[in-house]
Amino acid sequence: LALVAIGGVFSKPASSDVNKYCGYLDCKTITPKKDEAFQAKGTTFGFCICVEKTTKYIGCNFGEEFNLEKQDCVKPK
C-alpha cells in the first residue's frame, strides 16, 4: 500500500514543473489543435499541453524522451 501511495505522488508533477518547463506557454490566450503537445523548455523528458485553458506538464516514462514530430514520448534510438 505504501508503494502505491508513493507512486501516485511521483506520477503527478509538481506545479513548479509547470512553471519551470511550460511557463512560456499561455494556454489562456492560444487555441491549440486537438491533442497538440508542446516542447518543454530545457528538457526532453516531458512535454506541455493545454487542458481547458490551463497549462499542464506531462513527464515521459523512464527511458523515454518527447518527440515533437510524433507528439509523444518515445524510446530514443
Amino acid letter for position 43: T
Please say whether the beta carbons of 27 and 55 come within 8 A.
yes
What does the radius of gyration of the chain's CA atoms come to, in whole angstroms? 13
pTM for the full model?
Answer: 0.77
Res 56 pLDDT > 60: yes
**pLDDT of 60:** 97
Res 6 pLDDT > 90: no
pLDDT in tens, 8-54: 444 455 678 999 999 999 999 999 999 999 999 999 999 999 999 99
> Helix %, strand %, coil % for the chain, to 5?
25, 25, 50
Domain that holds residue 26: 2-74
Res 2 pLDDT > 60: no
Q: In angstroms, how far is CA 63 from the centroid of its own chain?
A: 15
φ, ψ (nearest 5 deg) of residue 3:
-65, -40
Domain count, the chain: 1
